[in-house]
Structure 1
Amino acid sequence: MVRRPKIFYGWYIAAAGFLSQFMFGVLMFHSFGTYVALMQADFGWSRTTFSFAFAAQRIESGVLGPIQGWVIDTYGPRKVMIIGLVLFSLGFILLSRVESLPLFYISFTLIAIGSSLGSFLSVLVAIVNWFRRRRVLATGILTMGFAVGGLTATPMALLIEGIGWRDAAFASGVVGLVVGLPIAAVVRHRPEPYGMLPDGVDSASQVAGEAEQIEWSMTAREALTTSAFWFLALGQSSALLVIGSLMVHLVIYIHEDLGYALGLAALAVTIQTLGQIVGQLLATLFGDRVPKRPFVILALLGHSAAMLLLALAEGLPMIYVAVVINGMAWGSRGPLMMGLRADYFGPRRFGTIMGFSSLVIMLGMIIGPIFAGVMYDQTGSYRTGFIVLALVAALGSVMFLMVRPPPERERWLAEAERMAATRPS
């Protein structure tokens, strides 16, 4: 018998994902630039050094991706999240004791593995399996947690500066366990074992006793042979060139190169976040009702325009305009791209497919910050590096211009429509 609770359980998972992304955003991603500025002042390490730390974090996430995706698809996301949260917290506690560069890299490796296992992909796999009709809306709720966390960038920067980065890191490790573990307990892999059906599936007769018949799905091996898989991954990677470089270098660029106070530099992250929230709200509200691909193309062009403005900026107004554009592009692109990937490849092996995608996607998060850091160390300016990254991001829009659904999916949909038309009413 199919259970139909008053509030669909998938929304609890989406809410848990929001809180999880909020926590990781506040503790790590939106605060990374502040840690860089304060630790550079204490240790005198180069910007390339910190860029490599951030890149190593993304390498861990990317390399783990296929394994993580397979483990999630096979054993469920909750167990993976718990392991990730423990590693994430341990990494931050270790960071609070850092006195040398090797220990710094070890601590960030643990944080990287923990953040990868403990949050986004694990919850995203659950959402893709629980939602069909309102998948983009649920994905938007998940990703919005990260964006809302960015609103804390300024107060977090002041807090980290006020209490010291060591105490802040230790406290972050404690919070990761105390807050994260109850969140992970909410997440469930698929609705069918709990007597429920995915959102958008009206009756058990639709599945005909086989979960795979609910919606079109490909195996990871099948997806890897399609051009759609590679165009989507390369296009997303080009966008992350911009995101990764600004996560590492935006605050220190504004603070040290342009000479503004750390609070004003962190305010740029907050403003970017407001733009991100607006973009996510638009994508969340309309993403299930409009063609996704054209808006992703516009978002890639927005990333490119933002980087050009930052490269040429001479004052705060131009910087704030640039980060608003970048934020809106980032916010709208995320849910639409995840929805597009789920539409093309289906939910059954989504974790594994997304994991293999991360091997390509991670290149943007790795190359972007390192390239910007190396260009700065070589030239004493971010301008050339930012302009090159802007041009590559623009090329990413061409990837989405070229992407098409897998032919197998189109044939499956045509056959499903034919069978529906001939079924007795």
Structure 2
Amino acid sequence: MAEPTTDTTARRRYTGWKVVGANSVVWSLQSMVWVQGFGNLAVELRDQFGWSKTFLSVVFGATRAEIAFIGPVQGREIQRRGVAPVMRAGAIASAAGFVAVAVIDSRAQFLLAMLLLAIGMSLVGFLTISAATVAWFEKRRARALSIQTMGFALGGFAAPIMVLGFQTVGWRATVLVVGGVLSSAAWWAAGITGRRPEDTGEPMDGLTAAEADATPDAEGSTGRHLTAQQALRTRGFWMISFGHAFALLVVVSSMAHLALYLTEDRGYSAGSAAIVAGIVPLVQILGTAAGGYLGDRINKRLISGVAMQMHGAALLGLVWIDAGFAVVIFIVLHGLAWGVRGPQMQAIRADYFGSTSFASIMGWSNIIVTMGAIAGPLIAGSLADATGDYRLGFTILGVAAACGTVFWIFATPPSEPA
């Protein structure tokens, strides 16, 4: 049995922050390779194979749908077996998926390879690392999640490295290299993120007893731990899920199509488009830092609702203002909104429903959230193919995201145990 950590060393040695650090490394690599990197890879595939934006959007959507449908099973296995076995299984599946992507030569091969890779990316990704971090924090939950999210933002900033690899050694070799690095990092991180407070005897948040008493509860925390079945019966579960989904209409469509939009509609080179896409996460870091500070202090629904308006304004400005500064406006508004809103998505669920069944609750929520991740790129890509540019598709998505604020208005915490 682990000895309780002494008050004088609780914060300095707190394992929870090590978990956050390991998760940040994995999420940074996943952001660079899988999330932000897909848009840059799409440009290479379009140029080599002549594949349409609609087809690439369908593949992107199919991978997100697969991740959504395995979410409940993944959440259940995280609760039953723990984070480490799930993440290591994901590392193996990811390695196999990257190899498969690197050798594709047809549409069918690409779709099957991406579906295999999606399994690995899901098992080492958002749901798994969020569950690991939430288990270690209560009063400083938004802060911990914001630091973790900074890794995601840094990975997006590093996405131009992939483009450099495409230009120097080709996209196939680049996919193999970055895939090997990501899979190895996930295997290593599993040894850290698989720990839980009860395994080490450390106090929650790494706070001494006196510090815990003096630190107020995070804003919105109910102090309850609901099961997945209980959470599903609350209005808050559905409003948070749909609010998150509507935000992803802009977030995921811009990740999948920003490079294509900039190269086709605004005449950017592939390298310049990658740089612009990489600057967005740099601004996101600033928003994430603000979100971590504000999320534990003021209403997370207010933060999320304002961010939805910023997402919508950013995308509408990008396609309706022809001047070059529209790209700058998009970078600032979208990056800040993404950063400040991101940590609230996990934190508010843990505040409302507790951490005991967080993985299962998040797994079920992901089915709804992924609707936005699928619909956004598909709407943008199909309408771009049909009309010849991205204006109509991005307009629809921008307006929808702004209207999504209404979900956060009604996403009130459960008034009584469900």
TM bin, normalised by shorter chain, reads over 0.9
TM-score by length of 1: 0.91
Q: 1:89 aligns with which of 77, 92, 95?
A: 95
Structure 2 counterpart of 1:314: 322
2:141 is aligned with 1:135:
yes
Query: Whole-Å Cα distance in 1 between the matches of residues 395 and 59 of structure 2?
Result: 23
Distance 2:5 2:128 in 1: 24
- 8 Å Cα contact 1:215/1:347 also seen in 2: no
Q: Secondary structure at the match of 1:332?
A: helix
Tell me which residue corresponds to 2:196.
Answer: 190
Pick from 210, 224, 227 the counterpart of residue 235 of structure 2: 227
Matched with 1:416 is: none
Q: Which amino acid aligns with 2:19?
A: I
> Displacement, 1:201?
6.9
Match of 2:109 in 1: 103
Q: CA deviation at 1:177?
A: 2.8
Match of 1:2 in 2: 4
Name the counterpart of 1:400: 408
Query: What SS does the aligned partner of 1:131 have?
Result: coil
> Deviation per CA, 1:377-405, whole angstroms, max 9, x where unpaired?
11111111111111110121110011111
Which residue matches 1:279? 287
Structure 2 contact 138–205 (Cα < 8 Å) conserved? yes
> Are the counterparts in 1 of residues 68 and 366 from structure 2 also a CA contact under 8 Å?
yes
Match of 2:355 in 1: 347
Residue identity in the other structure for 1:164: G
Q: Within the alignment, does 1:34 sit opposite 2:34 as a pair?
A: no
Deviation string, structure 1 residues 282-328 (Cα, Å, up to 9, x no partner): 01123212221111110010111011012214243211211221111
Counterpart residue number, 1:147:
153
What letter is aligned with 1:242?
V
Give the TM-score normalised by the residue count of structure 2: 0.92
> Structure 2 CA distance, aligned partners of 1:85 and 1:216?
33
Equivalent of 2:131, from 125, 135, 155? 125
SS in 1 for 2:204: coil
State how 1:308-387 maps to structure 2 within 5 Å: 308-387=316-395
Deviation per residue, 1:75-97 (Å, 9 max, x gap): 11111011111111211111110
Among residues 232, 248, 265, which one is paired with 1:257 in the alignment? 265
Contact conserved, 1:133 with 1:200, CA < 8 A, in 2?
Answer: no
CA distance, structure 2, for counterparts of residue 197 and residue 306 of structure 1: 42
Contact 1:38 1:161 in 2 (8 A): no
- Are the counterparts in 2 of residues 34 and 160 from structure 1 also a CA contact under 8 Å? no
The equivalent of 1:156 in structure 2 is 162
Supply the distance in 2 between the matched residues of 1:157 and 1:367 (Cα, whole angstroms).
26
Displacement of 1:276 in angstroms is: 0.7
Letter of the 1:348 partner, please give it.
Answer: T
Report which stretch shifted further, 246-255 or 179-188. Answer: 179-188
Distance 1:220 1:233 in 2: 14
Task: Show the counterpart of 2:52.
Answer: 46
Distance in 1 (CA, whole Å) between partners of 2:340 and 2:53 is 30
Quote the residue 2:181 is aligned against.
Answer: 175
The one-letter amino acid of 2:226's match is M
Q: Which residue of 1 aligns with 2:216?
A: none
Tell me if the contact between 2:380 and 2:393 (Cα under 8 Å) persists in the aligned partners: yes
User: Is the aligned partner of 1:73 residue 2:75?
Assistant: no
Query: Any idea what SS the aligned residue of 1:196 has?
Result: coil
For residues 85 and 206 of structure 2, the distance between their equivalents in structure 1, rounded to whole angstroms, comes to 27
d(CA) in 2 for partners of 1:51 and 1:186?
35
Question: 2:192 aligns to what SS in structure 1?
Answer: coil
Q: Give 1:293's aligned residue.
A: 301
Which residue of structure 1 aligns with residue 219 of structure 2?
Answer: none
Q: Give the SS at the match of 1:175.
A: helix
Give the C-alpha shift of residue 142 in structure 1. 1.3
- In 1, the alpha carbon distance for the partners of 2:234 and 2:263 equals 45
- How far off is 1:215 after superposition? 4.1
Amino acid at match of 1:190: R
Q: Deviations over 1:52-107 (max 9, x none)?
A: 11111111111011111111111111110111111112111111100111110111
* C-alpha displacement of 1:202: 5.2
AA in 1 matched with 2:168: G
Do the aligned partners of 2:284 and 2:339 also contact (CA within 8 Å) in 1? yes
Report what 2:311 is aligned to. 303
AA aligned to 2:60 is: F
- RMSD over equivalenced CA pairs, Å: 1.8
Measured against aligned partners, the alpha-carbon deviations of 1:120-139 in whole angstroms (never above 9, x if no partner) come to 21121121111111111111
Measure the CA separation in 2 of the matches of 1:177 and 1:127: 20
Deviation at 1:179, TM superposition (A): 2.5
CA distance in 1, matches of 2:385, 2:245: 24
Aligned amino acid, residue 296 of structure 1: S
**Which residue in 2 is equivalent to 1:19?**
25
Separation (CA, whole Å) in 2 of partners of 1:67 and 1:40? 34
The 3 A distance-change label for structure 1 pair 114 and 315 is farther
8 Å contact from structure 1 (residues 132, 200) kept in 2: no
Q: CA deviation at 1:115?
A: 0.9
Would you say the 8 A contact 2:252–2:376 is kept in 1? yes
User: Is this contact kept in 2: 1:280–1:331, CA < 8 A?
Assistant: yes
Question: Alignment identity in percent?
Answer: 37
The aligned amino acid for 1:72 is I
